[in-house]
Amino acid sequence: MAWNSILPGRRTGLALLCGVIAFAALGAAYDAVAVGELSVGEIEDELQNCPLVEVLNEHKRATAPQTTSLSSKIFAVLFPGSPAVNALLATVYISGPPNFLLALCPPNIDPSSLSVMVAFAVGGLLGDTLFHLLPEIFLGEDSPEHVSFVMVEPNRNLLLGLGIMVGFFTFVAMDKTLRIATGGEGHSHSHGPEPTPTTSTETEGTSTSLDTPTTDLKKRKQPQPTPAATSSTDTTTPPKEINPSVKLGGYLNLIADFTHNITDGLAMSSSFYASPTIGATTTVAVFFHEIPHEVGDFALLVQSGFSKRQAMGAQFVTAVGAFLGTLIGIAVQEFGGNSHTATDGGSAVGLLGTSLSWGDMLLPFTAGTFLYVGTVSVIPELLETGKNKGVEIRKTIVQFLAVALGAGIMLWISWD
């Protein structure tokens, strides 16, 4: 009866007021739940609607250069497709040309003559890691259309650092395993002067020179052999015999090269799923690293008893590892999730309560492997010096210039 006693106009107004209050309460509850479920990408999209951010976006678009750089035009031609297609194309680029260059290499090439090329590759690898991969891992990729924000997650950064360490020590374990298998001789990515084939030859030569006095004494006491006996002896003694340990080192080097190429393929997929620029710069860095790497492996295989054709064929077989790594990386990115390409929002909770997915861990792994190859695996070879101080000073200057050139190219590619 109390409700009926209220005038119809007031009754309508009171109902509307109650509805507004109830709707506001439901909306607040929904917002409280929705904010907790927003992904990093959705939070970024919501921030772009803020008035201040819209002004910043307008300023960025107004001051951005209108012309496209030469490197961007070249990369647009070389990588015209999706991240998966571009990763496969990049794998073709880093595997094909370096292996075809082996046809121009003489079988007796000295790997130590590649020191300048190795120094150039070191600059490229470390430049790509420090200028592109690490900033991308922790800060993300800049957008030409709008300003970007970084949401700090301490646990997320810890997991990313852990991924870098896992990549680094994966290569430590590979190198250590190969050294144990070969009796202390590892798989050098620089392929500078290694003790594998050369030391065995020099050791055999040294032992022969030590035995010379005893042999001469025997020759003085014994009559000189007839020509027939000499020819018979020459026939039974092979002119050149490959040490079994050297042969084993060659085959183990193929296994290590195959595994190394798998990580190169993972680098291609993870970088292109991060951004086209990161993918292109990583491709350039790996390409320049692969040239001395493949030539050094080729020389090692020839010294292990392979013919030139067999060594080239073996290198093409190991190149399959790069495509295998690329396909594995694409599968992880597509089915394991990736915050860079996620468009459906989804849940903000990922690995161990962070916003990371399994696909996000491939790029830190790649950075860790690059850090190992560019420092532990290669720098010791560049530090080796001879007794001629003048020659070594000139050689060092050339090597530092090569490192600076490799790093400078990586810096120029992504400089606005």
Residue 323, H or E segment: helix 320-336
Using alpha carbons only, what angle is made at residue 408 by residues 406 and 411, rounded to the nearest 5 degrees? 115
Whole-number Å distance between alpha carbons of 290 and 302: 18
> Which pLDDT score is estimated for 12?
56
Residue 99, both tokens: 């292996």
The residue with tokens 């050149």 is 240
The answer to whether residue 127 is domain-embedded is yes
Please give the pLDDT value at position 190.
46
pLDDT of amino acid 398: 93
CA proximity to 254, closest of 187, 190, 325: 187
Pick from 269, 339, 262: nearest CA to 82: 269
The tokens for 27 are 């909306």
In the block, tokens 């506001």 appear at: 24
Q: Does 199 map to a domain?
A: no
User: Please, are residues 251 and 316 in contact by the beta-carbon 8 Å criterion?
Assistant: no
Structural domain includes residue 9: no
Task: Please check whether residue 248 lies inside any domain of the structure.
Answer: yes
Kindly state whether residue 11 falls inside one of the protein's structural domains.
no
- pLDDT of res. 17: 59
* Residue 293 within a domain: yes
CA neighbor of 300 nearest in space, from 317, 320, 315: 315
pLDDT score of 70: 82
Contacts 24+ apart (CB under 8 A), 149-153: 149/44, 149/47, 151/40, 151/43, 153/354, 153/355
Residue 390 burial (CB count, 10 A): 7
| Token output for 402 | 């090569």
Amino acid at the residue 52? L
203's tokens: 């050791």
Neighbouring residues of 80: CB distance < 8 A, sequence distance ≥ 6 = 86
Considering only CA atoms, which of 279, 248, 298, 280 is closest in space to residue 362? Answer: 279
| Contact (Cβ atoms closer than 8 angstroms) between residue 313 and residue 139 | no
Tell me, what amino acid is at 206?
T
Q: Let me know if residue 115 belongs to a domain.
A: yes
**Alpha helices, DSSP H only, in 237-307?**
244-274, 276-303
Distance CA 382, CA 385 (A): 8
Half-sphere exposure of 220 (CA within 13 A, CB side): 6
* pLDDT tens for the 416 residues of the chain, in order: 454 555 555 655 555 555 556 555 545 544 554 666 777 777 888 888 888 888 898 988 888 777 777 888 899 999 999 999 999 999 999 999 988 888 888 877 776 677 888 899 999 999 999 999 999 999 888 887 888 888 888 899 999 999 999 999 999 998 898 888 877 666 554 444 444 444 444 444 444 444 444 444 444 444 455 544 444 444 444 445 666 667 777 888 888 899 999 999 999 999 999 989 899 999 999 999 998 888 888 888 888 888 889 999 999 999 999 999 999 999 999 887 666 555 444 445 678 888 888 889 999 999 999 999 989 888 888 888 889 999 999 999 999 999 999 999 999 887 86
Give every CB contact of residue 321 below 8 A, 6+ residues apart in sequence: 257, 258, 259, 260, 261, 262, 264, 265
Assigned domain for 4 exists: no
Q: Could you give the number of structural domains in the chain?
A: 1
Residue-level pLDDT at 72: 85
Domain range for 288: 73-184+243-340+349-415
Length of the chain measured in residues: 416
